[in-house]
């Protein structure tokens, strides 16, 4: 790539981080994110942070995923989107944290970052809440989702 006169950009690094994470090479992905990108002067974007968060969630590294979210918010280079929160919400159901932790994530999404839930997020939440025996909450979300279609 370098011999052809091409410098890696954010899209390249996002793909590299994603591939390393999927291959289980989490340390290498962290190195690319924390060292290589800044050394080359390539700023992370929302997709970069989302990729890191999804990777940590995939590898059951809840605190590291939350740390990346906090880093994203503090850096103010870009803003979280619905895809930022999707793996975190999914992790809530995998770890059984369907009370305070899930509520806080949803509150941050909607009230702090002014994000609207999309169909896949509603589906994830409704399905997960029903499986967690929180059917009343799931039904409230279903009604909210249907109300948005009108």
Query: pLDDT tens, 6-33?
Result: 788 999 999 999 999 999 999 999 999 9
Per the domain annotation, does 32 fall within a domain? yes
Q: How far is the C-alpha of 150 from the C-alpha of 147, rounded, in Å?
A: 6
Per the domain annotation, does 130 fall within a domain? no
Q: Which CATH number is 82's domain given? A: 1.25.40.10
Query: Domain span at residue 69?
Result: 10-115
Q: How far is the C-alpha of 149 from the C-alpha of 87, rounded, in Å?
A: 25
Q: Which of 5-14, 39-48, 67-76, 131-140 has the lowest mean pLDDT?
A: 5-14
Per the domain annotation, does 148 fall within a domain? no
pLDDT for the residue numbered 11: 96
Per the domain annotation, does 136 fall within a domain? no
Residue 114: CA count within 13 A, CB half-sphere: 1
Q: 136 pLDDT band (50/70/90 cuts)?
A: very high
Per the domain annotation, does 46 fall within a domain? yes
Q: 98 pLDDT band (50/70/90 cuts)?
A: confident
Mean pLDDT in residue range 45-67: 96
Number of domains in the chain: 1
pLDDT for the residue numbered 97: 87
Per the domain annotation, does 86 fall within a domain? yes
What number of other Cβ atoms are within 10 A of residue 92's Cβ? 25
Per the domain annotation, does 81 fall within a domain? yes
Mean residue pLDDT across the chain: 93
Share of the chain above pLDDT 70, in %: 95
Whether residue 96 contacts residue 60, with contact meaning beta carbons closer than 8 Å, is answered with: no
Does 3 have pLDDT greater than 80?
A: no
pTM of the model: 0.90
119 against 4, higher pLDDT: 119
Q: How far is the C-alpha of 4 from the C-alpha of 112, rounded, in Å?
A: 44
Q: How far is the C-alpha of 94 from the C-alpha of 88, rounded, in Å?
A: 10
Q: Any long-range contacts for 42-45 (C-beta under 8 Å, 24+ apart)?
A: 42/8, 42/9, 42/10, 42/13, 43/10, 43/77, 44/10, 44/13, 44/72, 44/75, 44/77, 44/78, 45/10, 45/14, 45/77, 45/78
Structure tokens at 137: 């909450």
Mean pLDDT in residue range 28-50: 96
Per the domain annotation, does 105 fall within a domain? yes
pLDDT for the residue numbered 147: 87
């Amino acid at each position: 790539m370098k011999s052809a006169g091409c410098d890696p950009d954010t899209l390249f690094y996002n793909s590299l981080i994603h591939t390393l994470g999927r291959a289980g090479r989490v340390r290498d992905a962290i190195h690319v994110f924390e060292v290589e990108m800044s050394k080359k002067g390539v700023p992370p974007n929302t997709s970069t942070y989302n990729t890191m968060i999804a990777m940590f969630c995939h590898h059951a590294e809840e605190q590291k995923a939350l740390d990346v979210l906090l880093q994203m918010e503090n850096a103010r280079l870009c803003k979280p989107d619905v895809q930022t929160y999707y793996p975190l919400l999914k992790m809530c159901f995998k770890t059984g944290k369907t009370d305070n932790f899930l509520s806080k994530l949803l509150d941050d999404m909607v009230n702090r970052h002014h994000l609207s839930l999309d169909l896949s997020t509603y589906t994830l939440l409704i399905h997960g809440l029903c499986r967690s025996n929180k059917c009343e909450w799931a039904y409230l979300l279903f009604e909210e989702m249907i109300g948005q279609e009108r």
